[in-house]
Structure 1
Amino acid sequence: MKQVEQNYRTGALRIAEVPAPRAPEGGVLVATRVSLISSGTEKQLIDLAKASLAGKAIARPDLVRRVLHNVQRDGLRPTIEKVFAKLDTPIPLGYSLAGEVIDIGRRGGAHAVGDRIACAGAGFANHAEINAVPKNLTAAIPGAVDDEDASFVTLGAIALQGVRLAAPTLGERIVVIGLGLLGLLTVQLLKANGCRVLGFDPNADRVKLAEELGADVAVRDGLREAAGGFTSGYGADAVILTASSKSNEPINVAAEISRLKGRIVVVGMVGMTIDREPFYKRELELKLSLSYGPGRHDPSYEQSGVDYPLSYVRWTEQRNMETFLALVADGKVTPKRLVTHRFGIEEAEKAYSLMGSGAPHLAILITYPEPKARQFERRLRLAPPPRKAANGVAFIGFGNYAKGVLAPAVRKVGKTSLTTVVTTTGVSAGHAAQKHGFAVAATDPAAALDDPDTDTVFIATRHDTHSPLTAAGLRASKHVFCEKPLAIDAPGLADVLAAAEISSGVLTVGFNRRFAPLLRDAKSALEPRTGPLVMLYRINAGVIPGDSWIQREEGGGRIVGEICHFVDALTFLSGSLPIEAQAIAARDHADAVSILIRFADGSTGSIIYTSIGDPGVAKEFVEAFADGRVIQLDDFRRLTVTNGGKSIVTKRAQDKGQHGLVAAFLEATRGDCDPPIPLVELVAVTAATFAIEDSLRIGAPVAISA
């Protein structure tokens, strides 16, 4: 299928041929009929993509702060590699469309195949022939509304939310500053609400159009004087800013033309340095509108499909979308009057060239062929099948860790060929295949699992998919490298174990710490021993926001998703299976836990995992005691072995064992050695994380049943 994508590092834009997505769980698959280019929002994104690195940093200081934080936590080189990998990944454009439902995922909502729906959301409602859209970002199109009008649904919801925040009442006099798409829609919505409206924009054509669409007064200059006359000198009851400007003038002019106790609502991107005096003397109310409305930027609402009860949140973003379409059906809003240009999807580059040319334009539509005339392939072959003599390697999931660590490790080992890469979106799959040399780009895991050219599958998806994909890969007689965790619950672990016991494939999990050279040196320094080990593993983990997918259901939380690493490292050091776990959490800090693990040989391991430390302190520290010897491993850079009153220090570049694990795994897939981690240890370590969670719940030790 065809899709518009842009390289965020270079700014290059193109119409790419990519595999079609699958119907998402909790959503629908939509064949796009018409999509809207929001010239203001999308031009800002394009201009940012074309900017230099310095320009991007100036425009997004919030991201700069995040990068600096990651440098403190992870080091300069890994952070820079992640940043450039992110910048080099193309992004989809578009966020508003009308189309037809062609497939429905599990829990996909009330739509049926063949329904006409309008869709919203950057990354979902893209300029693409096929889109996978979560159910809360869709709305049924009334029969009286055509596809072109319905394609404005996102802009309409944004404008409507701004009007709601202004809380207009019948007959109030309201000023709209900025008469682009949002401003002109806002004018019509205010008129539908019985308000008197003054519009302002320096563009004469837009001023004229505002008057045609119902504005009582529209001006291109002299706003202060016009507002004085329009309001009989009292000032505007409310001012809605729909302009796009880095200047602070719009917001300060809004204050000057407002009445005492007036309201100002910021919808567009404007400067926010305010002059205190007019705000203070008029006791003005200032609000920033949250885009489409309540639910925006909430993953539980937008992606997981959890709606807000209508009794408590009357107007969500979806209900705003539905209301806007109803107003269009009633003839109260006429979006098509704003259309100046139309292009077919194959000519979309011309549409973006027009935006940058300075030629007059307003709403630009992209049109698509009829759904029945299109072919929807979920796999796209880019190169001939590989030589069968090589180990055919596929990736299901190809995020930053897979592309920055696992794939380079595979290439370094050699004797492999990259067969298929599977990701959720066609844009990311196509880019990964072209950049890293995969023969096939796909959005369906079956493309890898059913592929006779694929011998080995790396699974690097979100955590809740690990166990079903691993079990499916093993049952397909593939060798499987599952990035941690192996499973996020006991039934998933049991399913993997059942598949592993009958499979001819080799299974391993990304427990790489046990392959770190300094940890292996530490284990050697503690052996031979006659008694148990007493071990301490301290992790200065840092904060992961509560709305991150890792903290939600699909991530399984940090104990299952990350502490499994450290349980495995202690299992490796002791050479013994964990049999009991006890854990307590710091008050009000679920990510700050103290864990005590008992091992079968009598050894003990304490894990201190904290999210409340300073990122300037090294992330990981291991200490172990046995038979009069002590090892201290500081962040996999420095190992101190103390015995008989003497200490030997070994220093090296940080190596947490990722490449060593991949090399050992691929060697095992060739039959040259045993699996790098015994199956019994993979199962016991995973079960231990479940026991830790159970212990936190009941406040008592829990036996580990593996």
Structure 2
Amino acid sequence: MKQVQQSYRHGTLEVAEVPVPMPGDGEVLVRSTVSLISAGTERQLMQLAKSSLVAKAAARPDLVRRVIRTARREGVMETARKVLARLDTPIPLGYSLVGEVVAVGRRVEGLAPGDRVACAGAGLANHAEYNCVPKNLVVRVPDRVADEDASFVTLGAIALQGVRLAVPTLGEWVVVMGLGLIGLVTVQILKAAGCRVIGLDPNAARAALARDLGADVAVTDGLERAVAAATGGFGADAVIVTASTPSSAPVNLAAEVSRLKGRIVVVGMVGLSIDREPFYRRELELKLSMSYGPGRGDPAYEAGGHDYPQAYVRWTEQRNMAAFLGLVEEGRVTPAALVTHRFPIAGAEAAYALLDGDEPYLAILITYPDAGAAAPIRRDLALRPKPAGERLAVAFVGLGNYARSVLLPKVKADPGVDLAAVVTRTGLAAGHAAAGLGFRHAATDAEAAFGADIDVVFVATRHDSHADLAARALAAGKHVFCEKPLALDHAGLDRVAAAAAATPALLAIGFNRRFAPLMAEVKASLSGRPGPKVMLYRVNAGKLPADSWIGREEGGGRVLGEVCHFVDTLTFLAGSLPVEVQAVAATGVRDAVSVLLRFADGSTGTIVYSPVGDASAPKEYLEVMADGVVARLDDFTRLTLHVDGRTRTVKGRQDKGQAGLVAAFLKAVRTGGPAPIPFDEIEAVSRATIAIEEALRHG
């Protein structure tokens, strides 16, 4: 299928050929008929993509702060690899469309193939022939609403939410500052609510269009005079700022034209350096609108499909979308009056060229072939032929930041590997990975990784799918490298264990620390020492970003996703399997846990994992005591060994063993040797980690 993509690193835009996505649980696969280019929002995104790295950093200081924290914790080189991998990932454009339901995932009710729907969501309702959209961002289109009108659903919801926050009442004077698409829709919604409207835009044509659409007054300048004349000097009851400018002038002008105790709502992206005096003197109320409405940016609502009870949250973003379409159906809002250009998806590059040109434009629509001429649903695209010679055919299922920046380079370093296929959730990511990273096939269906021509499968998806994918790959006779954790519960682990027992194929898991060179030195120092070992592993993990998927259901949390690493390391050093777990969590501090492990040989291990602490301190500290030995490892860069009265220090570049693990796995596959980590250890570590989670929940 065709999809518009843009390089965030270089700013180049193209219509790419990518595989059709697979709908997940709670998602709807929609064949697009019309999508809307939001000129203001998408033009800003394009300009940011084309800007220098310095300009990108200035535009997103929040991300810069996150990068700095990561660099302090993980090192400059590792952070640079992650940042460059993220910049190299293309971004989808678009966030408002109408189309026909092709398929629905599990947990989707009330929608069926053939339904006509409108969809919203940046990165979801894209300019693409097919899109997978979460159910809470999809609404049915009334029969009397044309496709082109329905394609405005996202802008309509944004405008409607701004109006709701202004709380207009019948007969009030409301100013709309900025008469672009959202501003002009806002004018119509306010008129439908019985308000009297004053519009402002420096573009005379847009001011005239606002009057045609119902504005009582629309001016290009002199707003204070216009408001005073219309309201008899009383001032505007409410002002909705829909302009887009880095200047703070619109907000401060809004204060000047407001009445005593007036209301100001900011919908557009404007500066917010406020002149205190007019706000104080008039005791004004200032609100910022949350885009489409309640639910926006909430992963539980948007991705998880958990709706808010209507009695408590009357107008969610989905209900705003439906309400907007209702206004269109009644003829109170006429989006068609705003359309100036139409382009087929194949000519989308010309549509975006308008945004940087001199030709006047307003609403630009992207159109798609009808059902009979639509591209077939292909979820596996072959891009290049198989190379000559005997090589291990490797498939990646999932290619997130870690897989792209850490695992894949280690795999590519092996000259005997053929990158056969990459499978990702979105066709855009799969197509880019295949084209730019050397894979022969791009796919969105994991079955493409289990075909007869694949030897090895790397599972690098989000954690909740690891067990299913690993078990399916093993059942298909593939050697499997699964990023940790192997499973989030005992049932998933049982399934993988059964699949592993039924095949000669090898299974490896991303417990890489036991393959670190300095960890091998620690292990060697313990060789031949009688009696149990006493071990302490302290992890200065840092705070998890509030929006991280690791903390959600799909990630399973940091205990299952990260603490498993340290359980494995202590198991490796003990040379014995864990048999008992105790765990407590700090009161009121999420993910701050202390874990005590007892091993079959009598050894003990303590893990102190904390998200609180200072990032300037080393992330990981390990201390092991055995008969005549004390070993201290600081962040995989400095090892101090006290052995039989002598002290030795070993320093080195930080190496946590990723390269060693991948190399050992590929060698074992090639030679038929044993797996790098015996399965009984993988299973014991996985069950012990699940037991930590259970101990924290149940005491």
Equivalent in the alignment of 1:439: 440
Equivalent in the alignment of 1:690: 690
Structure 1 residues 206-225: Cα deviation after superposition (integer angstroms, max 9, x where no partner) = 00000000000000011111
8 Å CA contact 1:26–1:105 kept in 2: the answer is: yes
Report the Cα distance in structure 1 between the residues aligned to 2:606 and 2:165, rounded to whole angstroms. 52
Q: Which runs of 5+ in 1 are unaligned?
A: 700-706
Equivalent in the alignment of 1:77: 77
Structure 1 residues 552-604: Cα deviation after superposition (integer angstroms, max 9, x where no partner) = 11111111111000000000001100000000100011311110000000000
Equivalent in the alignment of 2:599: 599
Report the Cα distance in structure 2 between the residues aligned to 1:345 and 1:592, rounded to whole angstroms. 50
> 1:433 is aligned with what amino acid?
A
Partner secondary structure for residue 587 of structure 1: coil
> 2:436 is aligned with what amino acid?
K
Partner secondary structure for residue 176 of structure 1: strand
Report the Cα distance in structure 2 between the residues aligned to 1:658 and 1:328, rounded to whole angstroms. 56
Equivalent in the alignment of 1:637: 637
1:428-577 counterparts in 2 under 5 A?
428-449=429-450, 451-577=451-577
Partner secondary structure for residue 160 of structure 1: helix
Equivalent in the alignment of 2:107: 107
Structure 1 residues 395-454: Cα deviation after superposition (integer angstroms, max 9, x where no partner) = 0001111111111111222211010000001110011011111110000000111x2221
> 1:494 is aligned with what amino acid?
D
Equivalent in the alignment of 2:321: 321
> 2:425 is aligned with what amino acid?
T
Structure 1 residues 267-308: Cα deviation after superposition (integer angstroms, max 9, x where no partner) = 001110000000000000000000000000000000010000
Structure 1 residues 597-627: Cα deviation after superposition (integer angstroms, max 9, x where no partner) = 0000000000000001111111001000001
> 1:292 is aligned with what amino acid?
Y
Following TM superposition, the consecutive aligned residue runs of length 4 or more in structure 1 with deviations greater than 6 angstroms are none
Equivalent in the alignment of 2:39: 39
Report the Cα distance in structure 2 between the residues aligned to 1:63 and 1:543, rounded to whole angstroms. 15
Report the Cα distance in structure 2 between the residues aligned to 1:91 and 1:697, rounded to whole angstroms. 39
Instruction: Kindly state the Cα deviation for residue 465 of structure 1 after the two structures are TM-superposed.
Output: 0.3
Report the Cα distance in structure 2 between the residues aligned to 1:672 and 1:525, rounded to whole angstroms. 30
Equivalent in the alignment of 2:615: 615
Instruction: Kindly state the Cα deviation for residue 110 of structure 1 after the two structures are TM-superposed.
Output: 1.2
8 Å CA contact 1:385–1:453 kept in 2: the answer is: no
1:575-594 counterparts in 2 under 5 A?
575-594=575-594
Instruction: Kindly state the Cα deviation for residue 697 of structure 1 after the two structures are TM-superposed.
Output: 2.2
Instruction: Kindly state the Cα deviation for residue 682 of structure 1 after the two structures are TM-superposed.
Output: 0.4
Structure 1 residues 664-702: Cα deviation after superposition (integer angstroms, max 9, x where no partner) = 101111234211000000000000011111211232xxx
Report the Cα distance in structure 2 between the residues aligned to 1:90 and 1:300, rounded to whole angstroms. 25
> 2:409 is aligned with what amino acid?
P
Structure 1 residues 441-477: Cα deviation after superposition (integer angstroms, max 9, x where no partner) = 000000111x222100000000000000000000000
Report the Cα distance in structure 2 between the residues aligned to 1:388 and 1:304, rounded to whole angstroms. 46
Equivalent in the alignment of 1:703: none
8 Å CA contact 1:108–1:134 kept in 2: the answer is: no
Structure 2 residue 407 is matched with structure 1 residue 414:
no
Equivalent in the alignment of 2:357: 357
> 1:440 is aligned with what amino acid?
H
8 Å CA contact 1:592–1:612 kept in 2: the answer is: yes
Instruction: Kindly state the Cα deviation for residue 647 of structure 1 after the two structures are TM-superposed.
Output: 1.1
Instruction: Kindly state the Cα deviation for residue 388 of structure 1 after the two structures are TM-superposed.
Output: 6.1
Partner secondary structure for residue 97 of structure 1: strand
Equivalent in the alignment of 1:626: 626
Structure 2 residue 405 is matched with structure 1 residue 404:
yes
Instruction: Kindly state the Cα deviation for residue 546 of structure 1 after the two structures are TM-superposed.
Output: 4.4
Report the Cα distance in structure 1 between the residues aligned to 2:576 and 2:192, rounded to whole angstroms. 73
Equivalent in the alignment of 1:646: 646
Report the Cα distance in structure 2 between the residues aligned to 1:560 and 1:88, rounded to whole angstroms. 29
Report the Cα distance in structure 1 between the residues aligned to 2:411 and 2:217, rounded to whole angstroms. 66
Partner secondary structure for residue 48 of structure 1: helix
Is the deviation greater in 624-633 or in 59-68? 59-68
Equivalent in the alignment of 2:182: 182
8 Å CA contact 1:386–1:419 kept in 2: the answer is: no
Instruction: Kindly state the Cα deviation for residue 67 of structure 1 after the two structures are TM-superposed.
Output: 1.0
Residues matched between the structures, number: 698
8 Å CA contact 1:27–1:109 kept in 2: the answer is: no
> 1:382 is aligned with what amino acid?
L
TM-score (norm 2): 0.99
Partner secondary structure for residue 263 of structure 2: strand
Partner secondary structure for residue 252 of structure 2: helix
> 2:289 is aligned with what amino acid?
S
Equivalent in the alignment of 2:245: 245
The 1:9/1:336 distance shift into structure 2, 3 A limit, reads same
> 1:202 is aligned with what amino acid?
P
Instruction: Kindly state the Cα deviation for residue 386 of structure 1 after the two structures are TM-superposed.
Output: 3.7
Report the Cα distance in structure 1 between the residues aligned to 2:200 and 2:89, rounded to whole angstroms. 39
Equivalent in the alignment of 1:58: 58
